[in-house]
Structure formats: structure tokens, C-alpha cells
């Protein structure tokens, strides 16, 4: 099993459970409020640790109680947190998450210490990249840093995976040229390509990204599974099981983490995506982000109950 490095955000999630998403000018009474460790980077590292991966996290938190909670939680599932920076005088990142009764969510992120993940920080931790096999990025830290670090990782021969969330209006060509695998959802794909009706133009939308240098594009489709266009231009729709959705907050994070784990074991991309669909299906049946991440034993039990055999 190879080493996986997650370079990304660490946030404290303030989760507000509501009957429906508020409209402009509308005041709602919430059903409940929860404080949960999150951030796309931390969620992905946590999911990998829970699944038994050899995983290290690079990122930054404030020198505050939220930072203590983040680092403690990651350590508890075996994530190497040695290189996470503590920034004096700056708060740990915060995410404000509304979740409705269908499990749909909307998220606003206050970057906080995540803004301090800089080129200099990457240079200081270059050895960590050198020792890794797969490097995962998201876009909740400065995109200039992501571009710089991805170029460094690719130059060192690492497999670079990008979760383009939150999706910007455009991604630098230099970044995409150094990405092996990108995993947008449908909303992010529309924003990245400008193609509004991706359902009928999936191949066109995916090809728009691949022309910029990305080898493999995986589009997650929620309950409809995933669309994969591989490095060898093999195109496949991989379906998923119907489940009762409680909370989709960590669906994408659990997907990308479990896919990376499978790739680190030498599995092919289609098998990795199929496995990731199963893990994401479990996560959406539970509340919260990191609290929804399953262990490998739980995943194997789920797959066994589907009659698909053991996944290792």
C-alpha cells in the first residue's frame, strides 16, 4: 500500500439543520446546531485514516481550541499530523453548513488559517511530498499554493488528484496540466466548463477538461453513481445502490479518499471508483462529516450484504 498525502483545509463545521434552505430575506428557526470537525482536506485525511490508509496531512489551523480538536481527531484515526502548521493570532477555518430534511446542503467557508498554506509552507514540507505516492488537493486553500504544490508533486512523479471544490470560475491551466485525476460533481462541472446541460453533453464537458491536460475525469452524480473518462479514453458509467440519504456533506470527501486508497493498493481506476461509490453510499446515510466516515470493516460488511464479495 502506497503513502497518501492530503494537502488542504481544516475547518470547524457549524452545522445548522433546517426544514428547507432559506430564501433571500427569509429568517428560519433551525431544528438544531452542531459543532463538528471538518474541512475538505481534513475530511479526506480522516476518511483515509478510518479506512486504514498510510496518510499524512498538510495544512494549517489556528492556535486555538478548534485547532486542538482538529489535530486530536485526525491523530485518533492514525493520520500523521506532525507537519500541520499552528498560526498565531488567526482562527481555525470555519464552515457554516445548512442541511435540509432531504440531506441536501449549502456551505459557506471562512478560510481563517487555511489562507496561510503558502508556497513557503510547501517548500518547507517538500520532503513529505517526496515520500508520498499519491497527493490529494482541494480548493479551500489558496489556489496559487495548490498550483505550486501540484507542479512540485507532478515533477516528483507523484499521482496528483484534484477535488475542484469549491469550484472557481476557472482553474489555472498550469494546475490542470499537473493533475492526473480530477473529480468534480455535476454543479462543479458546469462551472468549470460553462456547459449548462451536462446531462446530455457529458462527453463534451469532460473532453473540455481533458483537453487542458488532465488524464482522467470522474464526475460524481449523487444517487446516479459516477461517470468516468479514463487516461486511455475508456468511458464508463458506474452505478451505485439506492440508500436512504440523511446528509450529503461528506459524500465527495469520502469518495475521493476511498478512491485514492484503492489506487494506492495498485487497483485500476474503474475498480477504485466502484469501491468509492460504496463508501460514499454509506457516508450519506449518516449525519455529519467525519462522523459519517466508515471503517474498512463497515465497508466490507456493506459490500458483503450486497453480495459483491470482499474488497481489499
Instruction: List the catalytic residues.
Output: 253
> Is 40 annotated as ligand-binding?
yes
> Is 283 annotated as ligand-binding?
yes
Closest by CA to 108, choosing from 121, 119, 97, 120, is 97
Report the b/e string of 279-311 with b at 16+ CB within 10 A.
bbbbbbebbbbbbbbbebeebbebbeeeeeeeb
Closest by CA to 7, choosing from 191, 196, 151, is 151
Decide: helix, strand or coil at residue 15.
strand
> Is 67 annotated as ligand-binding?
no
Give the Cα separation of 209 and 182 in Å (integer). Answer: 9
> Is 277 annotated as ligand-binding?
yes
Rounded-to-10 torsion of CA 283, 277, 98, 183: 140
> Is 229 annotated as ligand-binding?
no
> Is 12 annotated as ligand-binding?
yes
Report the Cα 209 to chain-centroid distance in Å: 19
> Is 252 annotated as ligand-binding?
yes
> Is 11 annotated as ligand-binding?
yes
| Run of H or E residues at 228 | strand 226-229
> Is 224 annotated as ligand-binding?
yes
Give the Cα separation of 42 and 54 in Å (integer). Answer: 15
> Is 220 annotated as ligand-binding?
yes
> Is 292 annotated as ligand-binding?
yes
Do 141 and 8 touch, CB atoms closer than 8 A?
yes
Residue 166, preceding bond cis, omega within 30 degrees?
A: yes
> Is 82 annotated as ligand-binding?
no
> Is 199 annotated as ligand-binding?
no
> Is 39 annotated as ligand-binding?
yes
Give the Cα separation of 239 and 252 in Å (integer). Answer: 15
Binding residue ranges: 11-13, 39-43, 140, 185, 220-225, 247, 249, 252-253, 277, 283, 286, 288, 292
Binding residue ranges for K(+): 247, 249, 283, 286, 288, 292
Binding residue ranges for substrate: 11-13, 39-43, 140, 253
Binding residue ranges for ATP: 185, 220-225, 252-253, 277
Amino acid at each position: 500500500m502506497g503513502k497518501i498525502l492530503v494537502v488542504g483545509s481544516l475547518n470547524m463545521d457549524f452545522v445548522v439543520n433546517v426544514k428547507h434552505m432559506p430564501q433571500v430575506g427569509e429568517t428560519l428557526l433551525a431544528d438544531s446546531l452542531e459543532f463538528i470537525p471538518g474541512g475538505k482536506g481534513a475530511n479526506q485525511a480522516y476518511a483515509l485514516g478510518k479506512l486504514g490508509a498510510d496518510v499524512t496531512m498538510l495544512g494549517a489551523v489556528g492556535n486555538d481550541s478548534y485547532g486542538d480538536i482538529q489535530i486530536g481527531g485526525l491523530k485518533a484515526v492514525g493520520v500523521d499530523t506532525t507537519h500541520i502548521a499552528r498560526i498565531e493570532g488567526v482562527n481555525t477555518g470555519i464552515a457554516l453548513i445548512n442541511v435540509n430534511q432531504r440531506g441536501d446542503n449549502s456551505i459557506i467557508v471562512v478560510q481563517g488559517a487555511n489562507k496561510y498554506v503558502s508556497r513557503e509552507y510547501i517548500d518547507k514540507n517538500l520532503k513529505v511530498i517526496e515520500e508520498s505516492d499519491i497527493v490529494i488537493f482541494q480548493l479551500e486553500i489558496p489556489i496559487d499554493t495548490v498550483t505550486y504544490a501540484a507542479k512540485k508533486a507532478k515533477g516528483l512523479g507523484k499521482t496528483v488528484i484534484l477535488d475542484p471544490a469549491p469550484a472557481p470560475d476557472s482553474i489555472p491551466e498550469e494546475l490542470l496540466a499537473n493533475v492526473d485525476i480530477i473529480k468534480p460533481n455535476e454543479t462543479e462541472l458546469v462551472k468549470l466548463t460553462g456547459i449548462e446541460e451536462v446531462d446530455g453533453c457529458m462527453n463534451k464537458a469532460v473532453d473540455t477538461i481533458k483537453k487542458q491536460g488532465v488524464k482522467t475525469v470522474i464526475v460524481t452524480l449523487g444517487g446516479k453513481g459516477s461517470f468516468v473518462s479514463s487516461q486511455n479514453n475508456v468511458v464508463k458509467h458506474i452505478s451505485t445502490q439506492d440508500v436512504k440519504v440523511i446528509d450529503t456533506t461528506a459524500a465527495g470527501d469520502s469518495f475521493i479518499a476511498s478512491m485514492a486508497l484503492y489506487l494506492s493498493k495498485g487497483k485500476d481506476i474503474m475498480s477504485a471508483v466502484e469501491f468509492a461509490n460504496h463508501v460514499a453510499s454509506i457516508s450519506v446515510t449518516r449525519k455529519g462529516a467525519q462522523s459519517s466516515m466508515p471503517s474498512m470493516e463497515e465497508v466490507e460488511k456493506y459490500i458483503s450484504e450486497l453480495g459483491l464479495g470482499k474488497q481489499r
